[in-house]
Structure 1
Amino acid sequence: MYEPYPVPELAREHKKFRYSSLWTFAKQDLRLLAFLLIIGGCIGLGIGYFWICIFAAFSIFFALQLRSLYLVNEWISNRPYDVPPNLDGIWGALLFNVYRAQRQERIVQAEMVGLIDRAQSSLVALAEAVVLIDESHQIEWWNPAAEKLLGIQAADRGRNILTLLRQPSFIEYFNNIDQAPDGLKMKSTGFDEHYVQVKMTRFGGESRLLVAYDVTRMHNLEQMRKDFVDNISHELRTPLTVLSGYIETFTDQEDLNPRWKRAFDQMQSQTRRMNALVNDLLLLSRLENDKKIAKNQIIDMPSLMNQLYDDAHAYNVDYGHELNLDIDSHCDLIGSDTELASAFSNLITNAIKYTPKGGTVTIGWHDDSEQGYFTVEDTGIGIDPKHLPRLTERFYRVDSDRSRQTGGTGLGLAIVKHVLMQHQAHLEIESKENRGSIFKVVFPKERLYHVS
């Protein structure tokens, strides 16, 4: 092991006493005291002043102890990193133990400094930006990548991070990091047309570690995907409308050959399915692009729930389920009525579609003064728990054959997810195979409007 300080002679001399008891060192002082007393006693007997010489022997011993104490104090106060004075007895043992503990502490400190240096060297080499922020929100340290991605300069040390990164989205994330476990994507302050993903973690109270990395390529690919979906969806809409019109015209002819009629019926069914897919893609694209549109309408929830209940009855004609409506909340919602109605309707139609005939579907609106809950409970086929984390992904299907039979596009729950995100809400799903499912939309208190 690396030793930053030399081992003093005292440590070598006293090494054999490392595991000795204090009595071993005390005996040296007792021997000295006994020697002085014997010498003093002999001199005292010889000159006829026995007790005076004994007192003188004690005084000499006491003076030697005071000298040792003075040397110990002087070393600790003025020269703690030098080799300690070479003393015997208890004071020598004390010096040795203090110096040994001090030396071990310095070795540990040297190791910690080396470890910190290696950690800093590693952070400096990272392509990701790393910033340490203290409890007062001031910048303590950063690596070179932070200068490129976040625009931090040498003069920014000790500066409040919120005065450097002033984007409203970052300030909101900084103040509510627990509500965004995936972090925040924002424009880079160091490069134009570049995007960074920012993730913060608390440590040591309110201090924070900020990590940011360049996601420009991923952002551009995502934008290309969105543009492609938007363009292809718009381009498909016109030919599908034309095809649907001609197919409907041919299907309505009375003298149509039965063989052709079956073919036209199948074409019409697939055209409707493609139309539904295109409409869902366009709706999803609009939801993604309209994030900044205000969602501040006051929605009359009893009226909306009754409308959804009536629509569910119309959709339920071919299924014959028992439909129930359960409203025990006096709160309305603040948001977009059309978007929320679309999301709620999506959940209801899914429950009806995936429940065997003659089942039960219950639609509910509740609150507990802190949160609002829109619920859809069914007695349907249920979902294996392993699929639940991925249900809101685009085109994710638990059973592809079943989805085709029911006419699903695989985008319904993705649309629900985007609508809820724009209303600061989230979806909770409880389900067991062959025992039904409960879909619960949870709204924060800020989205509830208490009716007086």
Structure 2
Amino acid sequence: MWTNRYWQTEFWTLAFVILVVGLIGSLFDRAAASIAVIIFGYLVWNLVQLSRLYKWLVKSRSLYPPAAPGIWGEIFNHLYVLQRKNRKELKKLKGIISEFRASTSALREGALIISNQGEIRWFNKASEKLLGLKASTDIGQRLFNLLRHPSFIEYEQARDYEKPLTIHSPADENLILNIHITPYNNDQRLVMIRDVTEKHHLERVRQDFVANVSHELRTPLTVIHGYLEMLDPEMYPELANVEKPLQMMRQQALNMGHLVDDLLLLSRLDAKDSAQNGKPKDIDINIMLDSICAEARVLSGEKNQTILFHSHSNATLTGSEKQLRSAFSNLVFNAVRYTHKAGRIDIYWKESDQSYMMTVSDNGPGIEPEHIPRLTERFYRVDSGRNRSQGGTGLGLAIVKHVLESHGGYLDINSTVGKGSDFTCYFPKSQ
């Protein structure tokens, strides 16, 4: 609005001056020359104002614009208003950046911003300590050239950032770092680094404690179980009155032995003890599941359950035979324990385009939906009384979960109360 008004004023002023000068020049037969002089003078005046504008915007450090009449005065004034507004926004932005830098400097976790090509664009002080980076030399460098850990390079190349990576710090071998990468803005990634040395140490202490206690319990349990077996009422008639207590003691000693065995297996899985579990090899799953089904029929005994194995694939798996047998037998034997008499249990081995699948399906009592997410937690029991009566330790599905994860797979559970349950182990073909 103001622009139109001032331009109109400028135009009519110039037209009036040209008209007056033209009329005066016509009195001396110099109208054209007079108008040319006026236009030339106007052009020079505008060039002078442009020069003043350039000096003010580029060379001068003055905050205030030069004074000028007419349209140029308005141009200078509006540019000044825009500059003041920009300075306020810039000051506000600098404040936000300053607060961000102060807050990230206070973080104990390392934070880096890298491009899709891995170039470091920014990092905080904690990253300097955890990764040994230097702001003066490492900004603009590729993170993968500075952090040459093979696991980190594989983690980055896979571009699967759902789970964090745990490695030793390149700056200090005693530090254990947890690295998590989050992509954003299509061409940038945020790298968060946490020092989990203490947590790792406590986890190691817990594993060693469980393993040591389990080892220490095994010997006295073996002795107790051995002596209880010797106390046979058929050999010692005077023990006939305590036959029932002795049988209960034998059963509890046996259950305790199973618990110790499961704890030791979990300790080995946590520690990823390859020496205990043997080198990976190709395993014929059909032979393994057929053998487990035979054992399940013996365990079923008087329950008269129908236990069938259905093979729809001849594929083999590469991994630890001992671990996989433990996982599969846990699922099958659980189905035997908790499925009612004359029930049906089906074991399937099949494959799809993406994965291999082992499924244990039963028509037992089923599991309530609220329990399913917690079934693989250690010692979690849907019905603790029923589990103890069946000899369960509460560690079976935790072992299954660990074994599957170590083989690149996962467990899927579907259950309907009153109709039965399906436990499916998935092994990706890409793995």
Shorter-chain-normalised TM-score: which range?
0.7 to 0.9
Tell me which residue corresponds to 2:13.
32
In the alignment, the residues of structure 2 paired with residue 47 and residue 430 of structure 1 have an alpha-carbon distance, to the nearest angstrom, of: 108
Distance 1:397 1:278, change over 3 A: same
Tell me which residue corresponds to 2:241.
259
Q: 1:120 aligns with which of 101, 115, 119?
A: 101
Tell me which residue corresponds to 1:417.
401
Note if 1:287 corresponds to 2:269.
yes
Percent same amino acid among aligned pairs? 37
Distance 1:70 1:144, change over 3 A: closer
Tell me which residue corresponds to 2:295.
311
Tell me which residue corresponds to 2:306.
322
Q: 1:177 Cα deviation (Å)?
A: 5.3
Tell me which residue corresponds to 2:360.
376
Given that 1:186 and 1:196 are in contact with CA atoms closer than 8 Å, whether structure 2 keeps it comes out as yes
How does 1:85-104 map onto structure 2 within 5 Å?
Answer: 85-90=66-71, 92-104=73-85
Tell me which residue corresponds to 2:152.
170
Distance 1:61 1:168, change over 3 A: closer
Q: 1:128 Cα deviation (Å)?
A: 2.1
Moved more, 362-371 or 60-69: 60-69
Note if 1:108 corresponds to 2:80.
no
Given that 2:233 and 2:239 are in contact with CA atoms closer than 8 Å, whether structure 1 keeps it comes out as no
Q: 1:322 Cα deviation (Å)?
A: 3.3
Given that 2:207 and 2:270 are in contact with CA atoms closer than 8 Å, whether structure 1 keeps it comes out as no
In the alignment, the residues of structure 2 paired with residue 135 and residue 157 of structure 1 have an alpha-carbon distance, to the nearest angstrom, of: 15
How does 1:420-439 map onto structure 2 within 5 Å?
Answer: 420-439=404-423
Note if 1:239 corresponds to 2:223.
no
Note if 1:22 corresponds to 2:6.
no
Distance 1:441 1:86, change over 3 A: farther
Task: Spell out, residue by residue over 1:142-191, the C-alpha distance to the aligned partner (whole angstroms, 9 max, x if none).
Answer: 3332333333345444443334333333333333352552x123333344
Given that 1:27 and 1:89 are in contact with CA atoms closer than 8 Å, whether structure 2 keeps it comes out as no
Given that 1:295 and 1:423 are in contact with CA atoms closer than 8 Å, whether structure 2 keeps it comes out as no
Given that 1:149 and 1:190 are in contact with CA atoms closer than 8 Å, whether structure 2 keeps it comes out as yes
Q: 2:281 aligns with which of 276, 282, 297?
A: 297
Q: SS where residue 178 of structure 1 aligns?
A: coil
Q: Which amino acid aligns with 1:213?
A: R
Distance 1:319 1:169, change over 3 A: farther
Q: 1:239 Cα deviation (Å)?
A: 1.2
In the alignment, the residues of structure 2 paired with residue 127 and residue 238 of structure 1 have an alpha-carbon distance, to the nearest angstrom, of: 46
Distance 1:140 1:64, change over 3 A: closer
Note if 1:133 corresponds to 2:104.
no
In the alignment, the residues of structure 1 paired with residue 386 and residue 353 of structure 2 have an alpha-carbon distance, to the nearest angstrom, of: 39
Distance 1:81 1:296, change over 3 A: farther
Q: 1:343 Cα deviation (Å)?
A: 0.4
TM-score for the superposition, normalised by structure 1: 0.83
In the alignment, the residues of structure 2 paired with residue 252 and residue 162 of structure 1 have an alpha-carbon distance, to the nearest angstrom, of: 72
Given that 2:111 and 2:127 are in contact with CA atoms closer than 8 Å, whether structure 1 keeps it comes out as yes
Note if 1:406 corresponds to 2:390.
yes
Q: Which amino acid aligns with 1:23?
A: N
Q: SS where residue 386 of structure 1 aligns?
A: helix
Distance 1:295 1:40, change over 3 A: farther
In the alignment, the residues of structure 2 paired with residue 360 and residue 93 of structure 1 have an alpha-carbon distance, to the nearest angstrom, of: 92
Moved more, 252-261 or 392-401: 252-261
Given that 1:308 and 1:345 are in contact with CA atoms closer than 8 Å, whether structure 2 keeps it comes out as yes
Q: 1:197 Cα deviation (Å)?
A: 2.3
TM-score for the superposition, normalised by structure 2: 0.87
Q: SS where residue 121 of structure 1 aligns?
A: helix
Tell me which residue corresponds to 1:445.
429
Q: 1:241 Cα deviation (Å)?
A: 1.1
Moved more, 274-283 or 255-264: 255-264
Given that 1:251 and 1:265 are in contact with CA atoms closer than 8 Å, whether structure 2 keeps it comes out as no
Gaps of 5+ in 1: 1-19, 448-452
Q: SS where residue 23 of structure 1 aligns?
A: helix
Q: 1:256 Cα deviation (Å)?
A: 4.5
Given that 1:72 and 1:91 are in contact with CA atoms closer than 8 Å, whether structure 2 keeps it comes out as no
In the alignment, the residues of structure 2 paired with residue 86 and residue 424 of structure 1 have an alpha-carbon distance, to the nearest angstrom, of: 76
Q: 1:359 aligns with which of 343, 362, 366?
A: 343
Task: Spell out, residue by residue over 1:244-267, the C-alpha distance to the aligned partner (whole angstroms, 9 max, x if none).
Answer: 111112135252544300110110
